[in-house]
Structures are given as structure tokens and as C-alpha cells.
Amino acid sequence: MQINCKNCQTELQEDAHFCLQCGQSTASLNRPFVAVSKDMLHELLDIDGRLWLTLRIMLSKPGQLTQEFNQGKRVKYTPPFRLYLVISILFFIIFSSIYQVYEPTLTLTDSMSSYYSKAMFVLFPIFALIVQLFFRQSFFIGNLVFSMHLHSIIYLMLMIIAPLEALEQYHLVFLLLQIPPTLYLGWYIYTAFKTVHQQSRWKTIGKVSAIFIIYFSVLGIVFDVVMENIF
């Protein structure tokens, strides 16, 4: 038995999940809400094993995801932009919820959180451009993917560090607990750059230091502008 694609009317086999002509899913939205929500969540998070594999490789082998992407090994991993999008959304939800601890007299509104998230959405391509300046033999798309992977791991670590920082006023142990993820993040960034760009230890350290000095300067300028717009 054959069915027609709702978008382009191409004839498809009954068991087809996607249209071979336009790529649209054949799943109908005229179903119970729970079933549709489950499918949408599955598609967003890519919950078919790829997400968990991607997170495992990203956390344990710095730079390998980018390296394999550049080598064309992409199907088994969650796409870089989808990964960045999901993790950044989670980060800004947590960031919004703990902001009151840092600034008790200031409420972080949805508008303010939106400003920060939009600013970071613009900044991760700028980070890729800065990396491109220091590693001239690389390609921008590869650096853009690297930037998404690196920002994803930074957000994950900040999701651990930020709540601990918010609680450090209550006990010294919360300050001490920030040390392992901070050291891990420093090791991760260095190792990721060395894996992807294959340069000597001291060249990597020098270039990474310069990249982050420039990037943090850009962050400072952008967030000053963001705060002016908010207030």
C-alpha cells in the first residue's frame, strides 16, 4: 500500500518515515498530545543512543568529536548545533534560577536572560573567528563546530560550578568542590585544542591563552552593552 507525502504529494511506501523527495516526516500530528510530545522530545534531544554516545565522547575525549566531524564521521553523533542548543537552554535555565543568590536585590527577568542567551548565540561564531586567526591552516566550519563543542562543555561545567559558587557563602566545602570541575575544564580546553589543531605543547598553550584573552575582552564589551540595554 502506498501513501502520499502531505507536503509534496510524492508517493511513498506505507512504512516510510520520511519523504524521499522533500525530507518531511510522515508522522501525523492528529494524534493524542502525549504521543506527539514524545516524538517531538525524541527528535529534539535525539534520544536514540546518539546523544548519550556524544556526551560520553565529549566528556572523556576532548576534541575527538570535532576531529571526527572534520573527518566526515558524523552520523553516529548528535549534530553540533543541536547539542549546543539543548545544553545552552539548560544552562540559561539554571543561570536564571540561581542569579538571585549573586544579586539578591536584582531579579533576572526573562528579558534579561534572553539578552544573555542571544549574546552568546552571536559570540560562539566570533570565538571560531578568533581561533581561525591563530590557526590559519584550519577551516572556519571546523572551527565553528569546535566552538559549539567547546561552549557546550563549558556550559556543562558551569552548571556544576555556578550553583556551588552560589552556596560557598554558607560553607567552605562548596568553595573546595569547585576546584575539580575548574581544573578539569582547564585541562579539557588545552587537550581539545591540542587534539584538533595538532601543535606543540607550548604553541598550544600560548595560542589558547591569547585566544581567551581576546575572547574574554569581547565578552566584557558585549555584556557591558547588554547590561546597558537592560538597565
Residue 66 resides in a domain: yes
For the chain, 231 residues long, the average pLDDT of each consecutive 10-residue run is 64 60 57 55 59 89 92 84 87 75 55 69 90 92 93 93 83 90 95 94 95 92 67 51
Residue 53 resides in a domain: yes
* CA angle (221, 131, 71) in 5-degree steps: 140
Closest CA to 218 of 122, 77, 96, 118: 122
Residue 32 resides in a domain: no
| pLDDT confidence of residue 46 | 55
Residue 109 resides in a domain: yes
pTM of the model as a whole = 0.76
| pLDDT confidence of residue 37 | 54
Residue 147 resides in a domain: yes
Q: What is the CA radius of gyration of the chain?
A: 21
| pLDDT confidence of residue 97 | 74
Residue 13 resides in a domain: no
| pLDDT confidence of residue 166 | 79
77: containing domain: 49-230
Exposed/middle/buried for 169, CB within 10 Å: 0-12, 13-18, 19+? exposed
Residue 33 resides in a domain: no
Number of independent structural domains in the chain: 1
Q: Dihedral of the CA atoms 211, 200, 182, 150 (nearest 10)?
A: 60
Residue 174 resides in a domain: yes
In 3-state terms, what secondary structure has residue 82? helix
| pLDDT confidence of residue 196 | 94
